[in-house]
Structure 1
Amino acid sequence: MLVPRQREATEPPARKRVLFTLVFLGSGGIERSVCNVLAGLDTRRFATKMFFHHRPHPKSQQDRIPRDTEVVWGTDAFVYNRKMLPRFLWRLIQEAREADVIVAGQEGRAALLACLAGRLLGKPVVGMIHFDWGAFRREQPRRQLWGLRFLYPSMRRIVACGHDSAKAFQELVRIKPDKLQVIPNFVDGDKVRAAGEQPLPDWAEPIYRKPVVIAVGRLEHQKAFDVLIRSHALMRAAGSDHHLLILGEGSLEGELKALVKSLGVEDSVFMPGFTPNPHALMQRAAVFAMSSRFEGLPMVLLEALALGCPVVSTDCPSGPGEVLEHGKHGVLVPMEDPQALAEALGRVVREEPWRRDLSTRARRRADELSADRALGAWESLLSTL
């Protein structure tokens, strides 16, 4: 009979193998949130791997993924069709055989395949919730809601990015309370501030000769950049001599640019698309604007706070109210109200003492939202599965 060899006193314990899954490596908050968890986990305790359905695009910021994390993917193609699903699942199963835990880094397709692989292999699955699904479900086809109700109760644990998002999710999906855990999104403040100190790109120099209202996000209905552009036009009509800079790509680019033209503000609105380092632009802006119709716990808002950028945000479900403590650390305005947004932004642009005060509040709040507590919660969770 073979007797297991006793572990030597000097031999380190085996690291827990954690496989994270995402559809692709984009520039959005979901991808940044997952990469921040990967970068923060103790490499002495955890061996991490990232599985993408699609190969990372050459334009993506692959340096956000820690060097200690192995990266694999299902296909070199960037365009998706449903015939690819069996291939993605097969590749995920191959990678998951060696994992102790599978983490579905986002809702939708990533969660579906993670659950299937976990069930076939008998591996625990952790799901991440990034949105307020009470609001977000109105943006999605009905099958997404069915998927949530079918998939997530079978997961070992569900991590919501904020308390408001967790509450909305519980109202939508029947799960045992002990399965749902809130671990807030976080940012590496030092890294964000270091990026903020980088010089402006050449194309941005002329824009920053006037005060800049900056916004960052996908050009989609959720972000309500149409409301922001209308607010900008109202500010200009009221005599505010400033520029609006919107960073991001999306399906509504043509529609938003048409709105800019129809309002006669083409000379003061700039939409350069994807920008590798938005933090250098955010740090030098007069104010950061979030006009969203719904969120989860927005990463870009946390980054703005870390940079000391004054914040004006809609009080949308959910996230901004929670992060800003209902106006303590920034200005909150009603959703879908261009006039209220214009008045709040105009005051920040116009009044330097108010701008400095909001900047101080932002930095103070960023210090309170430390990454250490969130990472400790992630490590404790992964260790128990």
Structure 2
Amino acid sequence: MHLTLVIAELGVGGAERVLTTLAHEWITQGHEVTVLTLDDGAVPPFFALDPCVRHRPLALARPSHHPLIGLVRNLQRIRALRHALLACHPQLVIAFMDQTNVLTLCATVGLALPVIITEHTDPVPARLPRLWQLLRRLTYPWAAQLIVLNASMLDYFSPQVRKHSRVIPNPIIKPPTAPLSQATGLHNHSILLAMGRLVELKGFDHLLRAWSKVASHHPAWVLEIWGEGPCRTALETLARQLELGDQLRLPGLTPDAYRTMHRADLFVATSHYEGFSLVLAEAMACGLPVVSFDCPSGPRELIRDGVNGLLVPNGDIDALSRTLDHLMRHPAARQKLASRAPELLDRFGVGSVMAQWDTLIKELVAP
């Protein structure tokens, strides 16, 4: 079977990581896979694609500084994407993330081609520009199936869309065993780890404020926030104002999340909202004790509070600092959570998730 996957780009992000995993698994199963991206391909994929995947950048991602120019360029994108899809001769198209979903549905009108669209974050309307909200409402009923990452995300969509929707979570790759040289407790300090794009929605400013309340009580601990993004300068400025000094590191991007996680002693997530929180799931798969804001649509699907991790009221900086302080003071409490964390692989491991995708594909594509 020939599958064509459509996404804006293959940079750093959860949806991009998931696409890479799915493409590899489908290649392993013997399918043909083509990935169409809207960028020009000047920046190589951050997560390496399987060598057998065909990647075709379409160079359609130019910025628009006026609504009329934006309209014209989106019509051009739809036309070019339609031609690219026809050239691929796919039996099934899978689009990733809201605006790309809309463009793909428009590009496939009248082609009698099943299109699966996927949402990868909490689809609250205020987080998408008003015009794109309207286009989403108009076009999503055209999809053969909408995939969301958890049941609460379905509540946003109309009954018409929900009739052709289902929950398929992100697949979590089983981490390799940590080499002895990377095992926790073998460095001269302990690491509180966070990871994600340096953007407002990840809430790293809240994390810095929470850390500033307890860091002086734990001089052997260092907070590392791995990632890049437009908020780096603001976070560095805030860190100086809070006088975090050597107890904060912003090392940039990591090419190997699991290798970085194996060095850590505790993981923290502070997003304002999520769809699934892939890095949180990966930290748990590594056997890290985890703490997360109980934000909409994500962490509560992964964490059983007090069993395999801890949930903190969303945005409550004081509660977060108290929880971190408790876990840093009590290794036994960390170990108790860590011992249960990898159990989520039973629900979200690659084999389980791919079986759900395989069932869906067989339903949509006649043999």
Counterparts in 2 of 1:69 and 1:60: CA distance versus 1, 3 Å: closer
Counterparts in 2 of 1:57 and 1:269: CA distance versus 1, 3 Å: farther
Determine if contact 2:121/2:276 at 8 Å carries over to the other structure: yes
Structure 1 counterpart of 2:338, one-letter code: S
C-alpha displacement of 1:211:
0.9
Map of 2:362 onto structure 1: 383
Map of 1:99 onto structure 2: 90
Structure 1 counterpart of 2:78, one-letter code: L
Determine if contact 1:56/1:62 at 8 Å carries over to the other structure: no
Q: Percent identity?
A: 25
C-alpha displacement of 1:62:
4.3
Instruction: Say which of 318, 327, 342 aligns to 1:363.
Output: 342
Instruction: Say which of 229, 242, 249 aligns to 2:228.
Output: 249
Counterparts in 2 of 1:96 and 1:362: CA distance versus 1, 3 Å: same
Counterparts in 2 of 1:44 and 1:320: CA distance versus 1, 3 Å: closer
Instruction: Say which of 115, 126, 133 aligns to 2:105.
Output: 115
1:318 correspondence with 2:307: no
Secondary structure of the 1:193 match is coil
Counterparts in 2 of 1:380 and 1:79: CA distance versus 1, 3 Å: same
Within 2, Cα distance between the matches of 1:129 and 1:326?
26
Map of 1:80 onto structure 2: 63
Map of 1:5 onto structure 2: none
Determine if contact 1:245/1:270 at 8 Å carries over to the other structure: yes
Determine if contact 1:153/1:174 at 8 Å carries over to the other structure: no
Secondary structure of the 1:244 match is strand
Determine if contact 2:272/2:295 at 8 Å carries over to the other structure: yes
Determine if contact 2:81/2:107 at 8 Å carries over to the other structure: yes
Secondary structure of the 1:243 match is strand
Map of 2:277 onto structure 1: 298
C-alpha displacement of 1:349:
2.0
Structure 2 counterpart of 1:89, one-letter code: I
Structure 2 counterpart of 1:118, one-letter code: T
1:274 correspondence with 2:253: yes
Determine if contact 1:165/1:319 at 8 Å carries over to the other structure: no
Structure 2 counterpart of 1:337, one-letter code: D
Within 2, Cα distance between the matches of 1:331 and 1:197?
27
Write out per-residue CA displacement over residues 13-60 of structure 1, whole angstroms, 9 at most, x where no aligned residue: xxx221110000111111112222222226455321110111445464
Map of 2:67 onto structure 1: none
Within 2, Cα distance between the matches of 1:272 and 1:59?
21
Counterparts in 2 of 1:197 and 1:104: CA distance versus 1, 3 Å: farther
Q: Can you give the 5+ residue segments of structure 2 that lack an aligned partner in the other structure?
A: 65-69
Counterparts in 2 of 1:259 and 1:105: CA distance versus 1, 3 Å: same
Within 2, Cα distance between the matches of 1:313 and 1:34?
25
Structure 1 counterpart of 2:193, one-letter code: I
Structure 2 counterpart of 1:299, one-letter code: L
Write out per-residue CA displacement over residues 218-254 of structure 1, whole angstroms, 9 at most, x where no aligned residue: 1112110011001110112444531111111112111
How many correspondences in the alignment?
Answer: 354
Write out per-residue CA displacement over residues 67-97 of structure 1, whole angstroms, 9 at most, x where no aligned residue: 222111102x875344654554344223322
TM-score (norm 2): 0.89
C-alpha displacement of 1:266:
2.5
C-alpha displacement of 1:311:
0.5
Determine if contact 2:269/2:292 at 8 Å carries over to the other structure: yes
Write out per-residue CA displacement over residues 286-313 of structure 1, whole angstroms, 9 at most, x where no aligned residue: 1110011100111111111111111100
C-alpha displacement of 1:162:
1.4
Write out per-residue CA displacement over residues 276-333 of structure 1, whole angstroms, 9 at most, x where no aligned residue: 1232121121111001110011111111111111110011111111111344310100
Map of 2:51 onto structure 1: 67
Secondary structure of the 2:314 match is coil
Determine if contact 2:172/2:282 at 8 Å carries over to the other structure: yes
Determine if contact 2:37/2:57 at 8 Å carries over to the other structure: yes
Determine if contact 2:154/2:162 at 8 Å carries over to the other structure: no
Within 1, Cα distance between the matches of 2:4 and 2:92?
6
Determine if contact 2:307/2:337 at 8 Å carries over to the other structure: no
Map of 1:203 onto structure 2: none
Within 1, Cα distance between the matches of 2:258 and 2:172?
12
Structure 1 counterpart of 2:352, one-letter code: R
Within 1, Cα distance between the matches of 2:319 and 2:98?
33
Within 1, Cα distance between the matches of 2:161 and 2:260?
44
Map of 2:243 onto structure 1: 264
Map of 1:18 onto structure 2: 3
Instruction: Say which of 187, 206, 219 aligns to 1:227.
Output: 206
TM-score (norm 1): 0.85
C-alpha displacement of 1:166:
2.4
Counterparts in 2 of 1:283 and 1:166: CA distance versus 1, 3 Å: farther
Instruction: Say which of 249, 264, 272 aligns to 1:285.
Output: 264
